[in-house]
Amino acid sequence: NAGVMQNPRHLVRRRGQEARLRCSPMKGHSHVYWYRQLPEEGLKFMVYLQKENIIDESGMPKERFSAEFPKEGPSILRIQQVVRGDSAAYFCASSPLPLAGGRSSSYEQYFGPGTRLTVT
Amino acid sequence: SQKIEQNSEALNIQEGKTATLTCNYTNYSPAYLQWYRQDPGRGPVFLLLIRENEKEKRKERLKVTFDTTLKQSLFHITASQPADSATYLCALGSGQAGTALIFGKGTTLSVSS
């Protein structure tokens, strides 16, 4: 059973370019979360999506950042007009559809290896 | 605002000893707490989950306690090994299925032989 896949693993962009980060959740998982990890900082929640829906984007900057999780294909985190401050590791996590009764396994999140974005 | 603090940024111990990591939180009432391990250049890996109505959870050499009165969790690794060297992250969850976790900055554990 393949884990969460993210690509590219490393991405270098010049200031002003666009960055597209992809995440394929684990098979059978319909919840996707994006987190950002800045150097010396903890993981910060950005956005939570289910198929074709954004459920919670409270952690996402209002400008330049967008996310989607289409019916077919991976989830995409898109950063337009990147700036140096966007340099960070971006992690995607997935979890299975919550089961009735709140079994603890519903709350585990499985993380991908991350995409390290460097803006020059 | 919600705040999570992990006791120290770095912890150095000798092989065979028990490592104890602390996670404190304020302005939050989590339904559960999770611990993750993160190695350099990799994504976090889930280790243990403990719910608010549980006092202690064990898994092999790992033990987690959860005190909702003190708003604190302790994470213990017994008989530590150099392979346990990593950063350990504490994360809080609200209990609503599918909601995002709130993470601490992590404690980097180094186990020397």
pLDDT of residue A101: 47
**A39 — pLDDT class (breaks 50, 70, 90):** confident
The answer to whether the Cβ–Cβ distance between A35 and B103 falls below 8 Å is: yes
Would you say residue A2 has pLDDT above 90? no
DSSP state of B7: S
- Out of A31, A42, A113, the one facing B106 most closely (by C-beta) is A42
- Out of B4, B98, B106, the one facing A55 most closely (by C-beta) is B98
Q: What is the pLDDT of residues A64-78, one digit of tens each?
A: 999 999 999 999 999
- Residue A64 sits at the vertex; the CA angle it makes with A19 and B104, to the nearest 5 degrees, is 80
**A1 — pLDDT class (breaks 50, 70, 90):** low
- Rounded CA separation B62/A24 (Å): 30
Count of alpha carbons within 13 angstroms of residue B109, beta-carbon side: 30
Cis bond leading into A8, ω under 30°?
A: yes
